[in-house]
Amino acid sequence: MMATLFFLALFLLGLLLALRPLLGPKEPFPEPPRREELLRELEVLKEEVEALEGEEKKRALARMVEVERLLEGYRPPAPRPFRPWPVALVLGAVVLLGVGLWRYTLPRLPGETTVTQRQEARELKALADKARRTGEVEDLLAWGRRAYELQAFDQAAEAYLEVLKKDPKNVEAVRRVGILLFMGGRPEEARIFLEIAQGADPEAAEGWLFLGNLYFQEGRMQEAIAAWEKYLEAGGEAKERVEALIAMAKAQAQGGKDGRSVYEARCAACHGLQGEGGVGPRLKGNPILKVPEAVREIVLQGRGTMPAVPLSEEELEALLGYLGSL
C-alpha cells in the first residue's frame, strides 16, 4: 500500500514536471491589428517622402523611422532554444516511474504474475541455451524437465528427443516422449514408448496414468484398469480422480455386453443419453439407423469430427441392436 502511494506521488510529480512548459504563463505577444495599421502608415509615408521637401520631408522621414521601430517590436519572437536534456531526463523519469507503478502495484492473479512468467521464460531460455551449447544429457534433462513443468511442451519434446539421441535407454526421456506423443494425439507411437518406459521403471506413477488413459481411449478396459491400479501403487498424487476412473472403467467393462451400456459408455457423451443429440447429431429417429452397415462403418472408422470408436464385434452387435430400438 505504501509502495503504491509512493509510486503514485512520484509519478504525478514527474508528470507535472514534464508538462510544466505547456502549463506555464504564455509568452507576451502584441495585439495583431496595430501592425496592419503601422504597415499602411509606412506605405503612405514612403509615398509622401517622395513628394515632400525640406522640413516636412525631414519630419516624414523621422516618422518613418519611428514607425519602423514600432514594427520591430512586432517581429515574431525568436524561437526559444530547444534544450533536449532536461526534457529527456524528465520524460525518462516519468516512464521509469510509470513502469515501476505498473509493475509492482497493479493487482494480479494469485501465483500468475507477469513478473514470474517473465522470470520463468528467462530461466527456461537459459536452460535451453546451456543444453544446446553443451549437448550434455544432464543439461538436456534439466531443460526438458523445466519445460515440461512449465507446460512448454514443444521445448520439452525437443529436449527429451535430444536426450534419446544421446542416450536411447534413458527411461525418463522415453516416458516423457511417450506422454508428449499421447498429448499430441499420436496414441500408437505413444503406446510403444510408454510400455517400454513402464516396463523399465514401474515406479514412475505418471507413466501409468497416461498409459491407463491411452488404453481407456482405445477401449481396452482391463488394461486401463491395471495401469491405473499400478499408478495408485506407485503413490500417484491424483488418487481420487484415478479411483473414479477405475470405477468407471470397471462399470464399462462389466456392462460392455449389452447394447445400452455400450451406448451409454461410448456414444452418449456426444449424442445424448437418449440419442437426442449434443456435440454429435441426433440419433433418435435418424434414418441412418436403418442402415446398420453405415453405422458400423461410422463407428469403427469415425467420420468428420467424430473419432473412431474401437469396439469388439460382440459390443458392436449389441450396440446396433440397441440403436435400432431407439
Q: How many helices and strands, by DSSP H and E, does the chain display?
A: 16, 0
The least CB distance from residue 247 to ligand HEC, in Å, is: 20
Does residue 255 belong to the site contacting ligand HEC (CB under 6 A)? no
Residue 265 binds ligand HEC, judged by CB under 6 A: no
Does residue 288 belong to the site contacting ligand HEC (CB under 6 A)? yes
Q: How far apart are CB 278 and ligand HEC at their closest, in Å?
A: 8
- The region of 70-78, 124-132, 136-144, 275-283 touching ligand HEC under the rule CB under 6 A is 275-283
Residue of 303, 312, 314, 324 that binds ligand HEC (CB under 6 A): 303
Taking CB under 6 A as the binding criterion, the range among 51-59, 129-137, 216-224, 279-287 that sits at the site for ligand HEC is: 279-287
Contact with ligand HEC (CB under 6 A): which of 3, 281, 308, 312?
Answer: 281
Distance (Å) of CA 275 to CA 49, 208, 252:
110, 34, 18
Asked if 299 touches ligand HEC (CB under 6 A), the answer is yes
Residue nearest to ligand HEC (CB): 304
In this chain, which of 5, 279, 300, 308 binds ligand HEC, going by CB under 6 A?
A: 279
Coil, strand or helix at 182: helix
Residue whose C-alpha cell reads 510400455 in the numeric block: 195
- Which of 270, 272, 317, 321 binds ligand HEC (CB under 6 A)? It is 270
User: Looking at 200, 248, 298, 326, which residue binds ligand HEC (CB under 6 A)?
Assistant: 298
Closest CA to 204 of 243, 178, 165: 178
21 binds ligand HEC (CB under 6 A): no
Residue 271 binds ligand HEC, judged by CB under 6 A: yes
* Residue 325 binds ligand HEC (CB under 6 A): no
Q: Which one among 269, 273, 291, 300 touches ligand HEC, defined by CB under 6 A?
A: 269
| 107 belongs to the binding site for ligand HEC (CB under 6 A) | no
**Helix, strand, or coil (residue 160):** helix
Q: Does 309 bind ligand HEC (CB under 6 A)?
A: yes
The residue among 152 and 299 lying less far from ligand HEC, judged by its C-beta, is 299
| Closest to ligand HEC by CB, 196 or 298 | 298
Q: Is residue 266 a contact point for ligand HEC (CB under 6 A)?
A: yes
Name which of 199, 205, 204 is nearest 236 in CA terms. 205
| Count of CB atoms situated within 10 Å of the CB of 315 | 22
Stretch near ligand HEC under the rule CB under 6 A, chosen from 9-17, 141-149, 241-249, 276-284: 276-284
Distances (CA, A) of 182 to 219, 237, 322: 15, 20, 32
**Contact in structure between 322 and 289 (CB atoms under 8 Å):** no
Between CA 219 and CA 309 the distance in angstroms is 8
Ramachandran category for residue 315: left, alpha or beta (phi over 0 → left; psi -120 to 50 → alpha): alpha
Please give the distance of CA 76 from its chain centroid, rounded to a whole number: 55
Q: How far apart are CA 216 and CA 213, in angstroms?
A: 5
The angle formed by the CA atoms of residues 69, 75 and 78, to the nearest 5 degrees, is 130
Q: CB 294 → ligand HEC: shortest distance, Å?
A: 7
- Minimum Å gap between C-beta 238 and ligand HEC is 23
Cβ within 8 Å of residue 103, ≥6 positions away: 115
Q: Please tell me the distance from the alpha carbon of residue 82 to that of residue 69, in angstroms, as a whole number.
A: 28
Q: Any idea how long the chain is?
A: 326
Confirm or reject binding of residue 248 to ligand HEC (CB under 6 A). Answer: no
Binding footprint of ligand HEC on the chain (CB under 6 A)? 266-267, 269-271, 279-281, 283, 286, 288, 295, 298-299, 303-307, 309, 319
